[in-house]
């Protein structure tokens, strides 16, 4: 039976089709022993292994065996039940991870956008509780500058003159600061700063338009606007607060092979780093 390549399991009325090698990831588990008829709990009925357990939770067991990674939905709450199922199947490394719910539960992420409009310039500061999100956002944003002639807050991007990208100001790992608009110099010369954010290809100079594009980008990225407040009315300073549930970093079981063994010798836990 252990040489069978495709195995069919019926768990709690749900049907699963997998490879024998997937079930043999952990040779000491009951699923691996099942293939050798070493466990009477699993009955072979019409070519399928019948298991009287929770089928919905077994789908997470199968996902773990296929990827060696624990990745649960953000609304998942049955940690203790899934841990019990892992222990039933003899997957004790998985059960150990599930006992540490704080590593697996999603976290609430907060992000604030501070916007201040002063005459022909707009100032922005984006602060986030997750440094990884701020880092990714900083990579999306580009501010271009160039010396131009003429006047006009809503002046379109002058394609005939090259613009130079500016480095964004990063006071800390948790925030990014930039400004856009125009600053007049001698005569009719002025310095223009244009804002662009991927995947949108436009270069915007009007602060209100930039704010709208930035807020839309955050909403499309899964954030939810929870509050808007005026910080300083005289300077037209506003603060927009967003939140979203951030999936926990994936947890991976690293499998070590022992020379001369027929399968997996041991497993240890390691955390996949996906941000601070």
Looking at the structure, tell me whether residues 53 and 142 fall in a common domain. Answer: no
Q: Which CATH number is 129's domain given?
A: 3.30.1410.10
Classify residue 276: in a domain, yes or no. no
Looking at the structure, tell me whether residues 215 and 144 fall in a common domain. Answer: yes
Residues 60-112: tens digit of each pLDDT: 999 999 988 887 877 788 889 999 999 999 999 889 888 876 666 777 899 99
Looking at the structure, tell me whether residues 116 and 235 fall in a common domain. Answer: yes
Alpha-carbon distance of 145 to 26, in angstroms, equals 58
Looking at the structure, tell me whether residues 235 and 123 fall in a common domain. Answer: yes
Q: Is the pLDDT of residue 253 over 70?
A: no
Could you give the number of structural domains in the chain?
2
Classify residue 275: in a domain, yes or no. no
Residues 15-47: tens digit of each pLDDT: 999 999 999 989 989 999 898 877 777 888 888
Looking at the structure, tell me whether residues 211 and 115 fall in a common domain. Answer: yes
Classify residue 267: in a domain, yes or no. no
For residues 15-50, one letter each, b for 16 or more C-beta atoms within 10 angstroms of the residue's C-beta and e for the rest, the string is: ebeeebeebbbbbebbbbbbbeeebeebeeeeebbe
Looking at the structure, tell me whether residues 219 and 132 fall in a common domain. Answer: yes
268 burial via Cβ count (<10 Å: 0-12, 13-18, 19+):
exposed
pLDDT score recorded for residue 68:
87
Q: Is the pLDDT of residue 246 over 90?
A: no
- At 149, the pLDDT band (50, 70, 90 cuts) reads low
Looking at the structure, tell me whether residues 167 and 231 fall in a common domain. Answer: yes
User: Alpha carbon 35 to chain centroid distance?
Assistant: 37
Looking at the structure, tell me whether residues 89 and 131 fall in a common domain. Answer: no
Looking at the structure, tell me whether residues 116 and 225 fall in a common domain. Answer: yes
Q: Which CATH number is 16's domain given?
A: 3.30.710.10
- At 275, the pLDDT band (50, 70, 90 cuts) reads very low
Classify residue 199: in a domain, yes or no. yes
Domain residues for the domain of 207 are: 108-151+158-245
Number of Cβ within 10 Å of residue 61's Cβ equals 22
From the list 166, 111, 115, 110, the residue with the least C-alpha distance to 142 is 166
Residues 51-65: tens digit of each pLDDT: 999 999 999 999 999
Q: Between 88 and 184, whose confidence is greater?
A: 88
Looking at the structure, tell me whether residues 83 and 115 fall in a common domain. Answer: no
Domain end point (choices 104, 136, 169): 104
Classify residue 93: in a domain, yes or no. yes
Looking at the structure, tell me whether residues 138 and 235 fall in a common domain. Answer: yes
């Amino acid at each position: 039976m252990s040489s069978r390549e495709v195995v069919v399991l019926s768990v709690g009325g749900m049907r699963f089709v997998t490879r024998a090698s997937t079930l043999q990831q952990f040779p000491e588990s009951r699923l691996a022993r099942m293939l050798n008829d070493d466990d009477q709990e699993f009955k072979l009925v019409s070519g399928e292994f019948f298991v009287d357990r929770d089928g919905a939770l077994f789908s997470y067991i199968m996902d773990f065996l296929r990827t060696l990674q624990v990745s649960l939905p953000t609304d998942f709450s049955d940690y203790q039940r899934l841990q019990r199922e892992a222990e039933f199947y003899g997957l004790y490394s998985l059960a150990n991870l599930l006992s540490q719910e704080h590593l697996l539960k999603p976290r609430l992420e907060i992000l604030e956008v501070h916007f201040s409009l002063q005459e022909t310039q707009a100032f922005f500061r984006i602060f986030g509780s997750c440094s990884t999100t701020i880092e990714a956002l900083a990579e999306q944003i580009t501010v271009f500058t160039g010396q131009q002639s003429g006047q006009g807050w809503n002046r379109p991007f002058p394609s005939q003159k090259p613009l130079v990208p500016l480095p964004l100001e990063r006071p800390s790992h948790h925030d990014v600061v930039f400004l856009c608009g125009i600053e007049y110099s001698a005569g009719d010369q002025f310095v223009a700063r244009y804002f662009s954010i991927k995947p949108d290809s436009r270069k915007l100079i009007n602060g209100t338009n930039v704010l709208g594009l930035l807020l839309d980008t955050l909403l499309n990225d899964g954030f939810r606007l929870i509050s808007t407040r005026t910080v300083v009315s005289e300077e037209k300073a506003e603060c927009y607060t967003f939140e979203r549930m951030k999936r926990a970093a994936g947890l991976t079981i690293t499998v070590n092979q022992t020379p001369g063994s027929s399968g997996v010798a041991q497993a240890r836990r390691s955390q996949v780093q996906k941000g601070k």
